[in-house]
């Protein structure tokens, strides 16, 4: 049986999603809870939609895990699950009962996954938000853990113009940390900047998938535009040059939050996952992290 978990966390005190020996990570904390529920032997492992870096937050991360028959039977027999039409619903309560003391990670929902569901390969797109406070915004101490401060006045209109020109199917090598043998071709579906009611600059960045540190590089390039150090043309040329450049900074992790992961309708799940397991080319559709 495959179970889908919806997860939210404050990344401040995590060394990212992925399990690392001796370091506190989101996957590590959640898998330790699963091991307490199902036993250390054959403890379920999590497969995640977006492997977030140290310090990155998530409002709506998605992961799946597989239970064997004995583990599923144990879940169904839990007395608190008796009134749930879907026994998987009770898993969120049980995990939260273990991780609640920390308070910075929570399973917001658990459910039996539809046939063919794969949290990583089934995702159609991921949407991130990046928050920047500049001199126009003012500095709000209550937002500082989730917002990057830039001590200058940024030109939001120029940033939005630059962002809009990066959209589309491209090789984003200039905006990715290189990884051996991994493609850097992605479809950037949405990239825009606006100021919220408090004047905070909010970037919305949505793509089929992202390569490593890509959102923070895209955001850093537009902040350089907002500072007048680069033009919207420059960041398009940098992208097309295809090499990681030093003309802009990869911004700090704490301003970044994974907001949403979208999956296709249930009947299309298996098709989607099969498509995206293949490597991608400029000609083909699909996505993989």
Residue matched to tokens 């999956």: 263
When asked if residue 140 is in the footprint of its own copies (CB under 8 A), the reply is: yes
Q: Does 144 bind its own copies (CB under 8 A)?
A: yes
Closer to its own copies by CB, 71 or 257: give it.
257
Considering the rule CB under 8 A, would residue 146 count as an interface residue with its own copies? yes
Cβ proximity to its own copies, 133 vs 225, nearer residue = 133
Determine if 153 is a binding residue for its own copies (CB under 8 A): no
- Which of 3, 4, 5, 10 binds its own copies (CB under 8 A)? It is 10
The least distance separating its own copies from the CB of residue 96, rounded to whole angstroms, comes to: 8
The two three-digit tokens of residue 144, written as one number: 């500082």
Write down the least CB distance from residue 137 to its own copies, Å.
Answer: 11
| 104 binds its own copies, rule: CB under 8 A | yes
* Alpha helices (H) along the chain: 26-38, 69-77, 89-99, 156-166, 214-226, 232-241, 269-277
- Between helix 26-38 and helix 89-99 the angle, nearest 10°, is 110
Name which of 253, 260, 256, 211 is nearest 54 in CA terms: 253
d(C-alpha 257, C-alpha 223), whole Å:
17
The residue range among 98-106, 112-120, 207-215, 239-247 that interacts with its own copies, by the rule CB under 8 A, is 98-106
Any idea what DSSP says for residue 247? S
Sign of CA pseudo-dihedral 237, 239, 242, 246: positive
Toward its own copies, which CB reaches closer, 9 or 117? Answer: 9
Query: 3-state DSSP helix/strand/coil percent for the chain, to nearest 5?
Result: 35, 25, 40
Sole binder of its own copies in the list 3, 25, 33, 57 (CB under 8 A): 57
First CA to last CA distance, the chain: 24
Q: Does 31 bind its own copies (CB under 8 A)?
A: no
- Give the x-and-dash track for 200-239 against its own copies (CB under 8 A): ----------------------------------------
In three-state secondary structure terms, 243 is coil
Residue from 3, 119, 108, 104 nearest 50 by CA: 119
Name the residue nearer to its own copies (CB basis): 72 or 146.
Answer: 146
Is 260 an interacting residue with respect to its own copies (CB under 8 A)? no
Catalytic residues: 53
- How many positions of this chain bind its own copies (CB under 8 A)? 19
Tokens at residue 285, please? 């559709």
Q: Is 106 helix (H, G, I), strand (E, B) or coil?
A: strand
Q: How near is the Cβ of 109 to its own copies at its closest, in Å?
A: 9
Residues that bind its own copies (CB under 8 A): 8-10, 57, 59, 103-106, 108, 138-142, 144-146, 257
């Amino acid at each position: 049986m495959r179970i889908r978990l919806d997860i939210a966390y404050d990344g401040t005190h995590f060394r990212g999603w992925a399990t690392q020996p001796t370091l506190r990570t989101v996957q590590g904390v959640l898998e330790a809870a699963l091991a307490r529920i199902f036993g250390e032997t054959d403890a379920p492992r999590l497969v995640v939609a977006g492997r977030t870096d140290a310090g990155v937050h998530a409002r709506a991360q998605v992961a799946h895990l597989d239970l064997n028959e004995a583990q599923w039977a144990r879940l169904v027999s839990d007395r608190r699950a008796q009134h749930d039409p879907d026994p998987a619903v009770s898993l969120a309560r049980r995990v939260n009962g273990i991780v609640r003391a920390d308070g910075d990670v929570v399973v917001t929902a658990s459910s039996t996954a539809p046939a063919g569901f794969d949290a990583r390969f089934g995702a159609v797109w991921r949407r991130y938000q990046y928050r920047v406070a500049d001199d126009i915004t003012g500095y709000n101490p209550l937002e500082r853990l989730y917002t990057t401060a830039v001590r200058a006045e940024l030109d939001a209109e120029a940033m939005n113009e630059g962002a809009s020109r990066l959209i589309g199917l491209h090789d984003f090598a200039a905006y990715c940390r290189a990884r051996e043998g991994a493609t850097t071709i992605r479809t950037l579906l949405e990239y825009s900047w606006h100021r919220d009611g408090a004047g905070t600059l909010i970037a919305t960045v949505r793509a089929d998938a992202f390569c490593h540190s890509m959102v923070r590089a895209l955001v850093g390039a537009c902040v350089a535009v907002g500072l007048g150090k680069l033009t919207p043309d420059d960041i398009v040329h940098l992208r097309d040059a295809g090499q990681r450049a030093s003309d802009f900074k990869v911004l700090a992790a704490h301003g970044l939050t994974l907001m949403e992961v979208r999956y296709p309708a249930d009947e299309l799940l298996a098709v989607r996952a099969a498509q995206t397991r293949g490597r991608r080319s400029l000609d083909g559709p699909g996505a993989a992290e």
